Structure 1
C-alpha cells in the first residue's frame, strides 16, 4: 500500500499543479496500470527479469519487494490488496474534472474545497485519507520553521496592538500565551467590550487571525496587561532553559515556551527540567531572566 499511495499522491500533486486533461489521463493510466513504464522501471531497478508472459524469472525470493500482479479482469493486487482499476480511473477522472472547476472559481476557500474533494475520492476508494503526506513536497511544507526571531516576536506584538477592535483600548491577556516552534503564536484576550468574555487569536505567517470565542472562567484573576509583557522574552526563556539542560544528564532541550496567568500575574513555562537521575525546578522573572534554579528533593 505504501508504494501505491506514493503513486496516487504523485498523480494528485501533478493535477493540482495544473496539468492538462491529456497529461492527467496519462498520469492516471501510468498510476493504475502497473505493467506500464513505472513498474518496468521498478523491476529493472531491483534486478527483476520477466519472461515473455510477464512472469518473474528469478528463483530467489526477496521479501522486501512488494508483490504486484495484473489480472485479466482489470484489477491489481498490491501487497495482497485488490483494486479495480476501471473504477479507479473513472472516479479519478471525475475528481480531476471537479478540481479544475474549483480552481476556476478562485475563491479563498478553493484550497479547502479541493482537499475535501480529494478526501472524498480516497474515502470512496477505501484508501487512507491524507495520502498526499507521502509526497516529499508535503513533508517540506510541514517542516517546522522554528520559533520566531526576536524582531519577529516584537513585530507580532505590535501587530496585535493595531487590531481595530482594540483601538484606543487597553489589551488584556487572558489565561495564556503560547510561542510555538512552527513560527506561530496562540493568545487569548479579554473581549474589548464585554469584559466577562474572552477570544482566542492565532498569529501565523505575519498575520493575526479573526477572534474565536472561548469559554472564559475565573477571568477576574486570570488576566494580565499586554503592556507589561514582551513577546521577545520567550527567546530568553528558551535560551536559559536549554543552557541548564546541558548540565543535567538525560534532560531534553525545549523549542517552545508559554506564559500562564494566575492571580493577575504571569509565569513562564517550562518550569521544570527532568533528567534521567534528577529533577530541577526553574523559575523566570517576567522579563525572561533567570529567577531561581534548584534541585528538587
Structure 2
C-alpha cells in the first residue's frame, strides 16, 4: 500500500511540474508577444486613420484638377484597397508572421480566382478602357448591345443605363467596350431624317414650300446647318419626300414630333393627302 501511495504522489508531483512549466511558457509567451500585439494594434489604428485621410486628400485633389467623376472614383477605390492590403501585410509582419509565404498563398489564391472569374476580369478591363478613352460619359444617350438609354453610372464591371420609359439596364463593360457604340450626345447636334409619302398627283414644289414653311416656324429647327427637302424615292405607288432638319441634341425628340404633327396639319389645310406606305409582297 505504501508503494502505491508513493507512486501516486510521484505522478501528481510530475503533473504539477508539467503544469507549472506550461504556465511559465504561457507567461513568457505573453510577456514576449504583448509588445508586438500592442504595437500591431496601434499600427492598425494609425494606418486606418492615415488611409482615410489620404483618401480624402486625393479626392479633393482630383476635384480641384477637375478630373472626370467616374475616373476619380475608380482611381480612389483602387488606391484605397491597395493601401488596405499593404497595411494588412505590415500588421501581420509586425506580429512576427512570415509574409513571404503569406504573399505566395495570396498569389495562388489570386490566380485561382482569376481563372474562375475570367468574364468578370474582362468586364473589369472593359470598364478601365471605357473610363480611359471615354466613348461616352455620364448623362450621354447611347445605343449599344441592342439597347438605347441614358448613361446614369459607369461602374467597374457594368454600365448602368436608364431607358426612356424609366427602366434600368445593366450592360457588361466587356461586351460594351468590344462592341459598336452609337453616342447621340457627343456632337451636340442631331439631324432628323423624316419621310412624307404623297401621291403622284401632288405638286412637288407645293409640297416643298409647305414643308419649308413648317421648318421655318419651328424654333427647335436650326438655321445652320440649313434644313433640306428632297425627293428620295419614286415608288410604284407614291413619291417619298425626305425632310432633313438639324436640332440640338436635347431638342431632337420634340422637334421630330412637332415636324410630323405640323406637317400633317399643313398638308390637310392645303388639301394634300399623305399616302400610306405599301409593303411589297415577296414572290413565293
TM-score using structure 2 length: 0.24
Which of the two has greater helix per residue?
2
Structure having the higher Rg:
2
